[in-house]
Amino acid sequence: MKILWKRLSSALLVLLAASFVTFTLARVIPSDPALAYIGPKATEADSAQLRITLGLDQPIPVQYFKYIGQTLQGNWGYSLSSKQPVLQEIADRLPSTLELIFFAMGFALIFGVAMGVYAAKYRGRLQDSVIRLLSIAGVSMPAFWLGLLLQMLFAGRLTWFPATGQFDIELKYDNPITKITGFPIFDSIITGNFAATMNGLHHMILPALTLSAYSFGLISRMARANLLEVMSQDYIKVARAYGLSERLIFFKLALRNALPPILTITGLSTAYLITGTFFVEQVYNWPGIGSFAVNSLISIDYPAIMGITLLAAIGYLVINFIVDLIHAKLDPRVWMR
Amino acid sequence: MKSKLKGLSFLFKDKLTGAASVMMFIFIFAAIFGPWIAPNAKEGAGTANVDNSYIGPGWHHLLGTDELGRDLLSRIIFGARPALLIALAVVGFAAIIGTLLGLIAGYRGGWIDSLIMRVSELFLSFPPLLLSLVAVTFLGPGLVNALIALIISWWPWYARLIRVEASIVKSKPYVEISAAMGVPDRVIILRHILRNVTTPLIVQIAADLGTVILAAGSLAFIGLGAQPPSADWGLMVAQGRNLIFDQWWISTFSGLAIFLAVLSFNIIGDALRDHFDPRIARQ
Amino acid sequence: MSALLKITNLEVDFQIKGIVVNSPLRGMNLEIKAGKTLGIVGETGCGKTLTATAVMGLLPSSAVQRGLIEFAEHGALKSDEMASLRGSEITMIFQNPQSAFNPIFTVGAQLKMVAQRRNIARAEIGSLLIQRLESVGLKDTKRILACYPHQLSGGMLQRCMIAMALISSPKLLIADEPTTALDATIGDQVLSLIVSLQKSEGFAMLFISHDVSAVAKVSDEIAVVYAGRIVETGPTRDVINSPQHPYTRGLLGAIPSADKTRGKLVAIPGNVPSDLTSLVGCAFADRCSQRVDKCAQEPVLKLLKNQSVACWEAG
């Protein structure tokens, strides 16, 4: 329990520091927000006025504390491009991205663990080599390129899947999804709107696959290496010496021993998933945080950028925290020190 | 360790590694001799030839031409040099800065150690590319700024590695003994640190080279990295992006170049790691 | 009395793609009678553990086995036939209890897995485990069952392992260096425990160790192994008091002893030959002070009174 509090407090500290970093980057590095806000027609007077309005004339530490205070109260500023509250923009878009990440992570875990285990079982043979090639290709592929390729092949040439968007445009009229939780596919399931669910899944497959490639590579490599290491441990040999069946040894013992590092790498790869959405959503026109982030970056919408960075840092920390919890549950050595 | 490196034969120990080594060799060759081996050097450098726009792959232009009629193969060859230079620059500076900071932190200890380490941990707690993206946004688009942004993201790992090694070595008995014999402990520490650290350092550098190419390409794709008319592969993928269904070759081959370069670095990085630490290797 | 376990001319090669890369066992012959203990002693790497592995039928796929292993009424067994006997009629305890137990399962869970394998009724498993732990001298058994391996000391874990080995009331227990990783006093306690358990449970034991004194304490008969072959075997007392083979003499001379005064510890000069595949003649010849010309020929085991010795110069 003590360890949990320790982790929590260090996570909060990191969050604080992260906010500081973003804040510093936004304020200290020269770039005129007034220009971005008003547009090229901004005059000197307009700029000066805007600076006062936005509180940019105050000393930096004051600005920072104001920023922290506002953030904690839920005021994450206003997007310079859309003039909407940043938190609102994020809240609108987050569910779509989360669903995308969910499916991508699902693909990566299932395929990654399955193939890693399979490769370990057939170590040294053709299956092993093929899977290892796939894994290393996964971590070497530019996400945007893979996205474009899949788009061209499966949406352009083969028309099996739609090229862009989260749902067919007609869906809004034919089978609109009642918003309950805000998560489109989830909502469509719980309201029984299965036409929408199928449509959503149909649109989801290519982006999710694209996003999953990097994590898949990481996870399958880790799964394979780890399983091999576990299988060579003494306690496995002892289990065999006591006549336990190979199936029991493999599924119950070896896998459970191999799981913790796989979890860790899953947590780590979430980071890549987060930044991966930037590119995947761009390519597939996905209405999520990723495309919002890229647009904000290009238009130097610094309140939005700060909000997204903070969000990403929070998300990353939360995921790692959960991973640590599960890790501790699976491996008693962790918390018994 | 030097003797192990002399046996570069491990680069060809199996078909995959051999293929990767060949690819990397081609990549480096293209980076150095690009202007001389490209079928059309002027176009490779950026001169437009609009009459030739959008020609598909064929005999005259092996990989086709881009939206400005430039021979794609030449453009890609010309793109090898910036890619390699970016990778070397980022990893080089990051490693140097990280090593220096790590040495200082490990050797001095105390508050400066804590400071450097806290900062490193902070940087490392961000999703990797995010920091670079944010940094380059505020620095402004462009190659140099992209470089700076990437270096900022990459140095912490090196700092941490060196610092851990430094603090271990610092307290080893042979340091005291050598100091007693008149050898300045700074020299000893440096020598021992470098000896222990060389292997993981080399393996990480090899892997990072690939990752940086990927990151730089990603930055360029969004428009925050290299700017036209530079023959940056990421940029080229972006330029062909909206034409992906019909003039597919532009984005496809440019992205393929990135993929193959990164792939070969990763495979060789793996081979290096297996070579230096056979325990982890299969069998 | 016929032998419980009889090994005849056991040879094991390791092969990669058909080419022999090592021949660690070059002709092992031994017998264990029911309820008796045979101690196998020899240097690290001489093939003692490999023999045990072969008896359990757990040799890796790169190993090629020749010779005969006969067990009780089952007769001659191939390695896959051993699988059903493993963990039931033949069990094994290992050198390092911390690594022999799975770190992420409790001791109780692991013992339970073994009991379930033996088809012991679910309702009885609990009491059986407690009873077993008590029989190896452990108190507070409920707590121990709920503990993870790293929470227990080496000695306690080793006792747990012995308990695990006796769950199925085996006919033969193989003990591979069980006290080597333990402190001297703890190790002694464990040895005494094993001896008393043998008396009460009646299993035969194959006791493997490089520690001659430990082997001598528990064994009825001793077999000395060198470079993959038995070089001397016989009743413990006879072998210890009048060793016939030069290697045995060397081994015994290398033991530090508190009660006898000796000039110095005698180390056997030289090293175990590394390449056993192409070995010709007596493997010990290079290090032997009594080497003669005939030693270029592989000596056969000859019987002198109660002992068998593989040496031309013995007797």
Looking at the fold, whether C172 and C160 belong to one and the same domain comes out as no
A238 reaches C (C-beta below 8 A): yes
> Which residue of chain A comes nearest to C166, CA vs CA?
A242
- C119 and C54: one domain? no
* Residue C239's CATH number: 3.40.50.300
Nearest to C96 among A234, A332, A336 (CB): A234
| Residue B194, pLDDT score | 76
Percentage of residues of chain B with pLDDT beyond 90 = 18
pLDDT, tens digit, 9 for 90 and up, residues C202-240: 899 999 988 888 888 889 999 988 888 888 888 988 888
The verdict on residue C315 lying in a domain is no
Beta-strand relationship, C63-71 and C75-76: antiparallel
Answer yes or no: do C267 and C183 share one domain. Answer: yes
Whether residues C107 and C251 share a domain: the answer is no
What is the rounded (10 degree) CA torsion for B211, B214, B216, B222?
A: -140
Cα gap A114→A251, rounded to integer Å: 12
pLDDT of residue B1: 46
Q: Under DSSP, is residue A218 helix (H, G, I), strand (E, B) or coil?
A: helix
Verify that C109 and C150 share a domain, yes or no. yes
Q: How far is C164 from chain A (nearest CA, A)?
A: 9
**Of C123, C145, C167, which residue is a domain's last?**
C167
Residue-wise pLDDT for B243-258, tens only, equals: 888 888 889 999 999 9
pLDDT 10s digits, A11-54: 777 777 777 777 776 665 545 555 555 556 656 676 677 666 66
Which chains neighbour C (Cβ–Cβ under 8 Å, 3 or more pairs)? A
Check whether residue C143 and residue C260 sit in a common domain. Answer: no
Whether A242 has its CB under 8 Å from any CB of chain C: the answer is yes
Residues C218 and C256 in one domain: yes
Distance CA A73, CA B277 (A): 52
The token duo for C97 is: 């209890």
Chain A nearest C-alpha distance from C155 (Å): 17
**pLDDT of res. C56:** 85
Domain that holds residue C58: 3-89+168-309
My answer on whether C204 and C218 are in the same domain is: yes
Per-residue model confidence (pLDDT) at position A103: 93
pLDDT at residue C59 tops 70 = yes
Indicate if the pLDDT at residue B283 is higher than 50: no
Identify the pLDDT of residue A30. Answer: 47
Statement to judge: residues C220 and C131 lie in one domain: no
Question: What pLDDT shows up at residue A162?
Answer: 86
Number of domains in chain C: 2
Q: Count the residues in chain A.
A: 337
Compare all CA atoms of chain A with the CA of B223 and give the residue at the minimum distance. Answer: A298
Find chains touching chain A: ≥3 CB pairs under 8 Å.
B, C
C94 at A interface, C-beta within 8 A:
yes
Same domain, C172 and C241: yes
Among residues C147, C167, C187, which one ends one of the domains? Answer: C167
**Whether residue C65 is found in the same domain as residue C128:** no
- Domain membership of residue C58 (yes or no) is yes
A271 lies within 8 A of chain B by CB: yes
* Helix or strand (DSSP H, E) at C233: strand C229-235
pLDDT score of A316 more than 90: no
Find the CB nearest A275 among B128, B138, B248.
B128
Residue B281 pLDDT = 40
A241 pLDDT higher than 90: no
The domain boundary residue, chosen from C167, C185, C211:
C167
Query: Which chains contact B through at least 3 pairs of Cβ atoms less than 8 Å apart?
Result: A
Query: Which tens digits make up the pLDDT trace of A218-230?
Result: 999 989 988 888 8
> Cβ of A255 under 8 Å from any chain C Cβ?
no
Query: pLDDT at position A134, please?
Result: 93
* Confidence band, pLDDT 50/70/90 cuts, at residue A143: very high
Q: Which residue of A has its CA nearest to C168?
A: A242
The residues in C 156-175 lying below 8 A from A, measured between CB atoms, are 164
Question: What's the gap in Å between the CA of A105 and the closest CA on chain C?
Answer: 26
Kindly give the residue spans of alpha helices, DSSP state H, lying in C118-265.
122-135, 141-145, 154-166, 184-201, 212-218, 236-241, 246-253
Tokens in use for B75? 């453009």
C102 touches chain A (CB under 8 A): yes
Residue-level pLDDT at C158: 92
A202 contacts A284 by C-beta, under 8 angstroms: no
- What residues of chain A, 124 to 163, have a C-beta less than 8 Å from chain B? 124, 129, 133, 136-137, 139-145, 148-149, 151-152, 156
Continuous H helices in chain A: 2-28, 33-38, 44-53, 60-73, 86-121, 126-140, 143-150, 171-174, 184-190, 194-231, 234-241, 246-247, 255-284, 289-298, 302-330
- Own/partner pairs for B38-43, CB < 8 Å, 24+ apart? B38/B71, B38/B73, B38/B74, B38/B77, B38/B78, B39/B71, B39/B73, B39/B74, B40/B70, B40/B71, B40/B74, B41/B74, B41/B78, B43/B69, B43/B70, B43/B71, B43/B74, B43/B75
| DSSP string for residues in A186-207 | HHHHHTT-HHHHHHHHHHHHHH
CA distance C277 to chain A (A): 26
Closest alpha carbon within chain A to C94: A238
Handedness of CA C298, C304, C308, C311 (dihedral sign): negative
Q: How far is A302 from chain B (nearest CA, A)?
A: 9
**Are both C202 and C296 inside the same structural domain?**
yes
For C69-115, the pLDDT digits (tens) are 888 878 777 777 777 788 888 899 988 888 899 888 899 999 988 88
